[in-house]
Structure 1
Amino acid sequence: MVALLDKAHLQSSTGNPAAAGASLERALRIEPRNPVLWSELAKARLDQGRYRQAINLAAKSNSLARGKEKLRTKNWRIIGRARNKLGDYKGAEAAFKRAEQGR
């Protein structure tokens, strides 16, 4: 699983979020309850312009990330950015506020 996550990071950093997403999906088949993987997939989908999916994946990560406030903050920022891109400015503002509050 770690190798797939590393591969996804490399793919993302070289401008290939679709390949990163595929690697993360494989990793999630191995560890489906890993909130970090869900968050990384949400980021890959955000980078691909798949905003609604990014929101759903970040929310899934948050549901699994109890006690992991940094990860939840990251997820709320992903949700905020995706909502902003969708034109949901009030929703984006609410997400960014939750990120600031760390919940």
Structure 2
Amino acid sequence: MRFYLTGLFLLGAAWISGCTGIATQEPESLPVSDNNAVTVLAEAARADAANGKLDAAVGSFERALRIEPRNPALWHELAKLRLQQGQYQQAEGLAARSNGWAGGNKALRAGNWRIIGQARLKRGDYPGAQSAFDKAAEQAN
């Protein structure tokens, strides 16, 4: 029964996300930095992640964050990796930190709220997940 309800919730969340027109531009398609070292580290991290080397990708993003600790795009990408690794609470915290630096970047803020929503879903916090997905939808307006 729980599996059935979870499936219905996920289907409803996906439908709501699609119907509200949440930002179509993925935050990672935005420029990461003007700093060449940060850009090189981010590109290496993305390549490692694409090849399934998540720990190496995390290390590269962490090094980039030591150079630019206020870079919301780096926090966002690290949050995505932690979500993939099943570290849901850490993913949520990293996405929240990204939102703290994101300012008026609605695409990035929406992406962070989607990560938070997914992390909450995985942890079984369905009302919290819905709240996060609603906040992601608000960023599209």
**Alignment gaps of 5+ in structure 1:** none
Q: What pairs up with 1:3-42 in 2 under 5 angstroms?
A: 3-42=40-79
Give the one of 80, 84, 87 matched to 2:117: 80
Identity %: 54
Count, aligned residues: 103
What RMSD in Å do the two structures reach over aligned CA positions?
Answer: 0.9
Letter matched to residue 3 of structure 1 = V
**Alignment gaps of 5+ in structure 2:** 1-37
Letter matched to residue 5 of structure 1 = A
More RCO (CA 8 Å, sep 6+): 2
Per-residue CA deviations over 1:38-78 (Å, capped at 9, x if unaligned) read 00000010010000000000000000000100000000000
- 2:127 aligns with 90
Letter matched to residue 44 of structure 1 = L
Structure 1 ranges of 4+ moved more than 4 A: none
Q: TM-score by structure 2 length?
A: 0.71
Structure having the larger proportion of residues in helix:
1
**Alignment partners' CA distance in 2, 1:19 and 1:53:** 17
